[in-house]
Amino acid sequence: MVGTQNRTILLQDLGTKDYKETWDFQEEVFARVVAQKKLKRDNPEMDTDNYFFFVEHPHVYTLGKSGDVSNLLLSEKQLEEKGATFYKINRGGDITYHGPGQIVGYPILDLENFFTDIHKYLRLLEETMIMVLADYGLKGMRSEGETGVWLDVGTPFARKICAMGVRASRWVTMHGFALNVNADLGYFDNIIPCGIRGKGVTSLHVELGREVDEDEVRQKIVKYFAELFEAKLIW
């Protein structure tokens, strides 16, 4: 690549934030980075920015652009009764759930600052989570053809602990991952998660039999993400 590469990533914890509000915010930041890239063509010494947002959403179901709406098993009235919302969105993947007790991460990166390979990007996101889980004595695994991180792949007890779905355009990423830490797994009963039948979903607190410190998990995510992407993450 001609010009400079900025491997500094600006970190921000958005706290608890409505899904649509966060999506709109992501789109604004995404558009800003894409605009920087256009300017960089004529000014190769310019840097483009990278961001990483942590957030927790109120109960919400989101359906990716290639997803099947029949994987949502609730009517509008039932959604309302459960205090949940539903959105069709522009990431890859099928349907998933976000809610309290789940750590959601949205990296908005100019991959030309790192590498131009979406497959590698997804694998490094998965590897970050696998390293975090290892710190808690759990063996996170990949499941062939199914993006995300699982436990006990290849057994009747395979269950997903981290879902992923991203969008990338002009090598700029958005959306990201959702790691179940202290999540209420009952909400997953209302969907066919990621459109995959016959496989379960789990959460870190279920696997460990105790509530987990979410700040500690965020710190571990930041540490391993920085290592794998050879980046500097700053608050």
- Please indicate whether residue 194 is annotated as part of the active site: yes
Question: Is 46 annotated as belonging to a binding site?
Answer: no
Contact 85, 61 (CB under 8 A): yes
Question: Is 163 annotated as belonging to a binding site?
Answer: yes
Question: Is 165 annotated as belonging to a binding site?
Answer: yes
Angle among Cα 187, 66, 122 to the nearest 5 degrees reads 80
Question: Is 186 annotated as belonging to a binding site?
Answer: no
The one catalytic residue in 194, 217, 226, 233 is 194
What gap in Å lies between CA 153 and CA 233, rounded to an integer?
A: 32
Question: Is 96 annotated as belonging to a binding site?
Answer: yes
Question: Is 116 annotated as belonging to a binding site?
Answer: no
What gap in Å lies between CA 125 and CA 162, rounded to an integer?
A: 10
Question: Is 97 annotated as belonging to a binding site?
Answer: yes
Angle among Cα 180, 207, 144 to the nearest 5 degrees reads 65
Question: Is 140 annotated as belonging to a binding site?
Answer: no
Angle among Cα 183, 216, 221 to the nearest 5 degrees reads 85
Contact 149, 129 (CB under 8 A): yes
Contact 160, 179 (CB under 8 A): no
Helix/strand/coil for 234: strand
Question: Is 218 annotated as belonging to a binding site?
Answer: no
Give catalytic residues, as residue numbers.
Answer: 194
Annotated binding site for substrate: 91-98, 163-165, 176-178
Annotated binding site: 91-98, 163-165, 176-178
